[in-house]
């Protein structure tokens, strides 16, 4: 995923609109080396962007772990070298970005590995519930963790929720529109969310492309998978609603094609630290 210099400079400008008031008082005419390391095992994400932040602030960098690689606890993942003032400018901008993105990528990867341990075809797909004003960086972190994207935005896919169906006289009237929707957008798949097996049955008869089973318990989801396999195995089934690292294996074990989740966006920050040496 490409990030332009202007995007990175915008992030820098949020923290350094003018100059660093603290280091300007010190008047230290020396250089410094900053090392960012992890206290936990992590899947690295956005190390390239963190390096570019430091570069744009006049520093040199050494990357020890590339994106998508596993860094063990106590490993240094990035070294930043430059003037004392410039290193301080880069310090928190780089570390905070890595703390957020590495947590997202690590959690995504843990969910993916857990799901695939019982269901090789099952993918972990992140929802649109990323941090406001930070969607692009969140998406990159999910991808670095091996996950996929459920929906990038409202413009990239078709997904009908209950609130869309309320526009029709009843559910059956909505179902009559499915062939029309398919004809209007022949290159797009028609997805519909459902919350019970009765609705699912009707969606299968209407030949939708994807059913999203929301908040199904395990036994109900297993019934849904069995039903689809019997009636129309070409239909994709995804599970959503309250799925996280604690229960992902159970949901994946039902045989669903994918799990849709926002859990990776609600895990806080990776446990990173840094050490600075003045030279």
Domains of the chain by residue range:
5-104+268-278, 113-266
Phi-psi region of 250 (alpha: psi -120 to 50; beta: other; left: phi over 0): alpha
pLDDT at position 63: 99
β pairing state of 76-83 and 31-38: antiparallel
276 three-class SS: strand
**d(Cα 147, Cα 138) in Å, to the nearest integer?**
11
Give residue-wise pLDDT tens across range 172-186. 999 999 999 999 999
Location of structure tokens 């926002």: 262
Q: List phi, psi (to 5°) of 65.
A: -135, 125
pTM score of the predicted model: 0.96
The class (CATH top level) of 113-266 is alpha beta
pLDDT at position 149: 97
Architecture of the domain delimited by 5-104+268-278:
Alpha-Beta Complex (3.90)
85 three-class SS: helix
8 Å CB contact between 53 and 12: yes
pLDDT at position 233: 95
Location of structure tokens 């960098």: 61
pLDDT at position 182: 97
Q: At what angle do helices 197-205 and 218-231 cross, to 10 degrees?
A: 20
pLDDT at position 73: 98
Six-digit token string for 26:
């010190």
Which stretches in the chain have pLDDT values below 70?
Answer: none
Measured at the alpha carbon of residue 53, what is the angle toward residues 51 and 57, in degrees to the nearest 5?
A: 115
36 three-class SS: strand
pLDDT at position 70: 98
Measured at the alpha carbon of residue 87, what is the angle toward residues 85 and 89, in degrees to the nearest 5?
A: 70
Measured at the alpha carbon of residue 49, what is the angle toward residues 47 and 55, in degrees to the nearest 5?
A: 105
pLDDT at position 258: 99
């Amino acid at each position: 995923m490409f990030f332009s210099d202007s995007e990175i400079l915008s992030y820098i400008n949020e923290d350094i609109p003018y100059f660093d008031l603290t280091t300007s008082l010190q008047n230290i005419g020396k250089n410094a080396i900053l090392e960012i390391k992890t206290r936990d095992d992590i899947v690295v994400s956005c190390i390239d962007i963190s390096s570019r932040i430091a570069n744009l602030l006049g520093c040199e960098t050494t990357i020890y772990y590339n994106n998508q690689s596993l860094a063990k606890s106590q490993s240094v993942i990035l070294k930043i070298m430059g003037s004392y003032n410039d290193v301080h400018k880069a310090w928190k901008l780089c570390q905070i970005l890595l703390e957020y993105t590495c947590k997202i990528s690590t959690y995504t990867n843990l969910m993916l590995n857990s799901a695939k341990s019982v269901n090789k075809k099952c993918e972990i797909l992140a929802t649109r519930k990323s941090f406001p004003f930070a969607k692009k960086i969140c998406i990159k972190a999910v991808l670095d963790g091996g996950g996929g994207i459920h929906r990038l935005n409202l413009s990239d896919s078709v997904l009908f929720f209950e609130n869309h169906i309320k526009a029709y006289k009843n559910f059956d009237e909505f179902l009559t529109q499915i062939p029309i929707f398919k004809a209007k957008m022949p290159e797009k798949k028609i997805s519909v969310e459902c919350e019970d097996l009765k609705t699912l049955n009707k969606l299968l008869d209407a030949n939708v492309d994807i059913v999203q089973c929301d908040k199904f318990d395990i036994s109900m989801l297993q019934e849904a998978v069995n039903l689809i396999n019997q009636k129309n195995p070409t239909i994709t089934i995804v599970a959503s609603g309250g799925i996280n690292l604690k229960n992902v294996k159970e949901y994946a074990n039902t045989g669903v094609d994918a799990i849709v989740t926002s859990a990776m966006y609600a895990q806080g920050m990776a446990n990173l630290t840094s050490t600075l040496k003045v030279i």
